[in-house]
Structure 1
Amino acid sequence: MSHDHNSAGAAHGNVKQYTIGFILSIILTIIPFGMVMSGNFEGQRGLLVAVIAITAVAQVLVQLVYFLHMNSSSEQRWNVIAFIYTILTIAILLIGSVWIMNHLHFNMMI
């Protein structure tokens, strides 16, 4: 009974990829943390929120590429499709919920 660890759809990284991903994750965590903790951006909350949002999205992309090994290769196609479906479902639920709550709030105020 042998175990095949190189089955289709299972991508494995190397130490260099994991190190690059780890360093990028640390940098993308330190940037917004440093901005918030410095207190220099209290008058510029819009900029602070934008930087936090941009680094959060970049952090998710780094995690997906370097640690979950999602890419455009044929082996990862079903994983990418499942991820996109999940993101779309969550977006529809969130946007729909906010729309419904806003609509109900508007109708209750009349």
Structure 2
Amino acid sequence: MMSHEHNAAGAAHGNVKQYTIGFILSVILTIIPFGMVMAGGFSRGLLVAVIAITAIAQVLIQLVYFLHMNSSSEQRWNVIAFVYTIVCIAVLLIGSVWIMNYLHLNMMI
């Protein structure tokens, strides 16, 4: 069995082992914060930190195991497009917060 199969467009697809590993890691990264919230007794700061860290890890797992983004030459344009999208969203969000904060400060005068 080949580790990667290609369709007509040249896109690589994973095998059952990769999908299973990705699924198990995703479930674990979902259960950890859920269990902490349901158990209670943790500080709010710790819960927010754990949720944020597991969310970022979850996104990376999804990108690698299900969308097959990696540093191979076949995926280079997909990775570049993804990074460009993240930069655009970050500029939009940070710029919006900055403008709203600036307007709020000017309205208080």
TM category (shorter chain) comes to over 0.9
Report the counterpart of residue 78 of structure 1 in structure 2. Answer: 77
Report the counterpart of residue 7 of structure 1 in structure 2. Answer: 9
CA offset at residue 65 of structure 1? Answer: 0.1
Unaligned runs of 5+ in 1: none
Report the counterpart of residue 45 of structure 1 in structure 2. Answer: 44
After superposing on structure 2, the runs of 4+ consecutive aligned residues of structure 1 that deviate more than 2 Å are none
Identity %: 84
SS in structure 1 of the partner of residue 57 of structure 2? helix
Which has the higher relative contact order, 1 or 2, with Cα contacts under 8 A spaced 6 or more apart?
Answer: 1
SS in structure 2 of the partner of residue 71 of structure 1? coil
Report the counterpart of residue 93 of structure 2 in structure 1. Answer: 94
Query: Normalised by the size of structure 2, how large is the TM-score?
Result: 0.92
Report the counterpart of residue 3 of structure 2 in structure 1. Answer: none
Matches of 2:13 and 2:37 in 1, distance apart? Answer: 36
CA offset at residue 7 of structure 1? Answer: 3.0
Matched, 1:19 2:25: no
Report the counterpart of residue 57 of structure 1 in structure 2. Answer: 56
CA offset at residue 6 of structure 1? Answer: 4.3
Instruction: State the Cα RMSD in Å.
Output: 1.1
Query: Normalised by the size of structure 1, how large is the TM-score?
Result: 0.91
Matches of 1:6 and 1:66 in 2, distance apart? Answer: 21
Unaligned runs of 5+ in 2: 1-5
Report the counterpart of residue 102 of structure 2 in structure 1. Answer: 103
